[in-house]
Amino acid sequence: MALDVALIESGIKPVPPTQEELDAAEALQVGDYEIFSENLVLIAQEGKEVMTKMGISSMLHSGDTMVGIYTAAGDLVTTVCGTLLHSVTGQIPIKYIIKHFTDDPSVGVREGDVYYTNEALYGGIHNPDQFAIMPVFVDGELLAWVVSGAHQSETGGSEPGGEIPAATTRHDEGMKLTPIKIGENYRLRTDLLNMMENFISRAPRMQVTDVKARVAACDRVRQRVQAMAARRGTATMKGLFRKMIQETSSGVHQRVARWVDGTYRHTVFMDTTGHEDSLLRASVTLTVKDGKLSIDFEGSSPEHEGSYNAFASVIRAHCAVILFELPFNDFPMSSGMMEHIEIAVPKGSFFDAGPEAAISCSPLVGGMVFPLLGVVLSKAMYSSEQRDQVCGYTSSSASAVMVSGTNQHGVRVTDFMGYPLNAYGLGARCDQDGVDVFGFPHGPWGKAPDVEDIESEFPLLHLYQRQMTDTCGYGKYRGGVGASIAYIVRGSPYVAFTSSQKESKFPAHNGLFGGYSMSTLPGIQVRGTDALARMAAGDPNIPTDDYELAVAEANKTLGGEVIMEHQTRGIRVLAEGDILAASTQGSGGYGDVLERDPASVAEDLRKEVITLGVARDVYGVIVDPQRFLVDEEATAARRQEMRQARGAKAKPYGEWVKSWEAKRPPDQALKWFGTWPDAKPNRDVVRI
């Protein structure tokens, strides 16, 4: 069937309420609203716990999950996460089902039905994100919908792992199901489960088990909502749903109305298409006017034949994530937020590629929204009562490593490593440092799995897992640092892996109000090592972080060959004893580095957040490296010297901008950029 473009474009916007809903919301007492709205959250939480306890995939246990409750028309009422992305886009498949199946006698919408989807165009973010959907009927009337979703790290694509850096079109990316009915009368259909198991033959046990976990979560929530409706009445439930949407809508409008009207712009870059190194530009313009927000991504690079493209719904969902997590974090997580927000995504850009484009790596593309929107929102909030919310947020930068093979127990496994994805640094704030290894920006409720859990399930041993020095953005307040992580293959003759990352040379997070960008990191492998033998012998010189690993060959602290490359890596095969680094980046700083408290610099040095050279050459702080005491007189002289050096390099703006605009990156870096400097399409995209 033809694409339902209208649904894709507007599916996350709430539909107009009925008069019955408005009347019921008006009749709801304040105390009842407070109690009943919390009841719904607890019901969703119970459903999420059911899914987590029944499911087995690494990302499900790491928190890349959600359970949401939606109105009969498909609008988000409340959710428990996991990942906010799925809660927002979960509205689209419901509205698809309502529109296309309700009056179709071959499908229909009836009590006891179970639907399933992982189609990125209709609510999925990329192929690994799979959703179960159930209607909730009370006395024969459709009252609500329930959605449960989780990332599943195998899709049956041309490479294992679901996120496929080598993909050129969607045909490389495996299973993609538009919403289908997989159960009736509260019974799942074995033939359709077998079909999915066949698609996901690299990890069939995980696929079937986690489908049932999602469905069980939906069914538990369905039962609880029906029981609540039986006690309170359907009119009260409809009023409650509408009230939760209204509260968010009115709260957003009133809050934004107190911001200073204006236009705020920002641009960041990523440095790969997934296939090869190239700069891609991502731009945003935020307009604040009369209590409404307009977000426009015009100026972003055109789509390309690589794997780093996204659909517009993915970009809009990422906008919703940061809006819920920063300026509107105290409102109900409902669709009401979108009533006062317009998001324009230019068609033909890599933010809204054609329907045949490869999109399994789209969360990395969508992650560009975080440093973009984090900065412009902070500029908009800076002069408001929400100044304490000012934060450059994060670049969303981790080496998303997938491992596939037969584990030490003889079981075929394909899954993501959950720790790196839950170990980003969070950006500095207006009055304090960022958070080290804070979590997963798509869903800060995520949980990094324990080392022991990973080593019991996968043929891997951790060489090290620790905070990584010098990965934060420097500033008056520094950003959070990332994590330094490396795995050794152990217990299997070989494993395959891929990894995906949007920046390994050019940082996407620029810092805020003079703060520095965070560092970028290479992908590191060491092949043919004797690491396991050295560990067994108690060798004290084994590398303990990426810096030591990178020079292990030269320093002869490991046997084998060190390979340095971009962190985006297509399928590779590692033998037992080989090492793979999967480290994460920090996030940007805030304010002038020369205004940082010298005592804080010394403390960072003591904690190995920074090195002595950074203290001296970036912050201008002279510290005794043994006692970690600041030499205040030498520090004052050093900072005065650095300020004078700044002044000596300064130029009048007109002179500076003339030389700046004459600069141009090398042609290799602009291959997929689009026209320079405005990133307009300059070639035809060929997909086969």
pLDDT digits (tens, 9 = 90+) for 522-581: 999 999 999 999 999 999 999 999 999 999 888 888 989 999 999 888 889 999 999 999
Say yes or no to pLDDT of 502 above 90: no
Return the percentage of the chain with pLDDT > 70, whole number: 99
- Does residue 443 lie within any of the structural domains? no
Residue 211 pLDDT grade (very low, low, confident, very high; cuts 50, 70, 90): very high
Are 469 and 609 in contact by the 8 Å Cβ rule? The answer is yes
Q: Which residues of 415-440 are buried (b: 16+ CB within 10 A; e: fewer)?
A: bbbbbbbbbbbbbbbbeebbbbbbbb
Binning pLDDT at 50, 70 and 90, where does residue 96 land?
very high
Q: Quote the percentage of the chain above a pLDDT of 90.
A: 79
Q: Is residue 91 part of a domain?
A: yes
Cα(516)–Cα(593) distance, rounded to whole angstroms? Answer: 8
Question: What SS3 state is found at 502?
Answer: coil
| Segment holding 534, helix H or strand E | helix 531-536
From CA 492, how far away is CA 480, in angstroms rounded? 36
* pLDDT at residue 395 is higher than 80: no
DSSP annotation of 584 reads: B
- Average pLDDT of the residues in 485-498: 93
- Using CB atoms within 10 Å of the CB of residue 29, give its burial: 0 to 12 exposed, 13 to 18 middle, 19+ buried: exposed
Q: Which residues form the domain of 177? A: 45-230
In this structure, of 13-17, 313-317, 509-513, the range with the lowest mean pLDDT score is 509-513
Predicted local distance difference test score (pLDDT) of residue 517: 94
Domain-located, residue 291:
no
Give the tens place of pLDDT for each residue, 235-268: 999 999 999 999 999 999 999 999 999 999 999 9
* Residue labelled with tokens 């602290």: 557
* Joined tokens for residue 452: 């022991």
Q: What is the mean pLDDT of residues 630-656?
A: 96
Contact 82, 66 (CB under 8 A): yes
pLDDT at 202: 87
In a domain, 564, yes or no: no
Q: How far apart are CA 46 and CA 107, in angstroms?
A: 30
Q: Give per-residue pLDDT as tens, 102-122.
A: 999 999 999 999 999 999 999
Tell me, yes or no, whether 588 lies in a domain. Answer: no
pLDDT, residue 586, reads 92
Q: Which residues are paired to 265 by β-bridges?
A: 285
Q: Let me know if 658 is exposed, middle or buried by CB neighbors in 10 A (0-12, 13-18, 19+).
A: exposed
- Report helix, strand or coil for 80: strand
How does pLDDT run across 579-618, given as a tens digit for each residue?
999 888 899 999 999 999 999 999 999 999 999 999 999 9
Q: What is the pLDDT of residues 30-53, one digit of tens each?
A: 999 999 999 999 999 999 999 999
CB contact at 8 A, 360 and 343: no
At 397, the pLDDT band (50, 70, 90 cuts) reads low
Token pair, residue 80, equals 């428990």
Assess whether pLDDT exceeds 90 at residue 353: yes
- Cα(294)–Cα(172) distance, rounded to whole angstroms? 35
Q: Is residue 611 part of a domain?
A: no
Q: Residue for token digits 């004893």?
A: 577
Decide: 217 and 69 in contact? Cβ < 8 Å: no
Is residue 140 in some structural domain?
A: yes
* Alpha carbon distances (Å) from 661 to 156, 271, 651, 657, 666: 47, 21, 14, 6, 14
Whole-angstrom Cα Rg for the chain: 26
Mean pLDDT of 297-312: 96
- The DSSP secondary-structure symbol of 302 reads B
- Please provide the size of the chain in residues: 688
Residue 63 binned pLDDT confidence (cut-offs 50, 70, 90): confident
Tell me which DSSP letter residue 209 carries.
H
Give SS3 for 479. Answer: coil
Number of H helices, E strands in the chain: 21, 20
Burial readout 280-302 (b: 16 or more C-beta within 10 A, e: otherwise)? bbbbbbbbbeebbbebbbebbbb
Would you say the C-alpha torsion 94, 98, 104, 107 has a positive or negative sign? positive
- Chain centroid offset of residue 484 CA: 19
**Phi, psi angles (nearest 5°) of residue 110:** -135, 160
Strands (E), 245-359: 262-272, 277-289, 292-296, 341-344
| pLDDT at residue 83, rounded to an integer | 86
pLDDT digit string, tens, across residues 64-82: 899 999 999 999 999 998 8
Residue 239 in tokens: 């009023």
Please give the pLDDT value at position 343: 97
Please tell me the distance from the alpha carbon of residue 575 to that of residue 88, in angstroms, as a whole number.
Answer: 41
Q: Using the predicted structure, report yes or no on whether residue 322 has a pLDDT greater than 90.
A: yes
Of 49, 204, 63, 51, the closest CA to residue 132 belongs to 51
Backbone angles phi, psi at 413, to 5 degrees: -130, 145
What residue has token string 């989780």? 150
Is 313 part of any domain? no
Rounded Cα gap, residues 76 and 66, in angstroms: 12
Query: Stretch 497-505: mean pLDDT, rounded?
Result: 87
CA atoms of 323 and 64, how far apart (whole Å): 18
The verdict on whether omega for the bond into residue 528 sits within 30 degrees of 0, i.e. cis, is: no
What distances in angstroms separate CA 658 from CA 129, 651, 665, one per listed residue? 47, 11, 16
The total domain count for the chain is: 1
What the block records as the tokens of 555 is 């320093």
Which pLDDT score, from 0 to 100, does residue 613 have?
Answer: 97
Asked whether the beta carbons of 348 and 681 are under 8 A apart, the reply is yes
DSSP code, position 608:
T
Query: Is residue 396 pLDDT above 70, yes or no?
Result: no
Q: How confident is the model at residue 409 (pLDDT cuts 50, 70, 90)?
A: very high
Complete edge-to-edge strand list for the sheet that includes strand 65-71: 76-81, 65-71, 141-151, 129-138, 114-117, 180-184, 187-188
Q: For residue 427, what pLDDT band results from cuts at 50, 70 and 90? A: very high
DSSP code per residue over 395-418: ---B-EEEEEEE-TTS-EEEEE-H
Does residue 660 surpass a pLDDT of 80?
A: yes
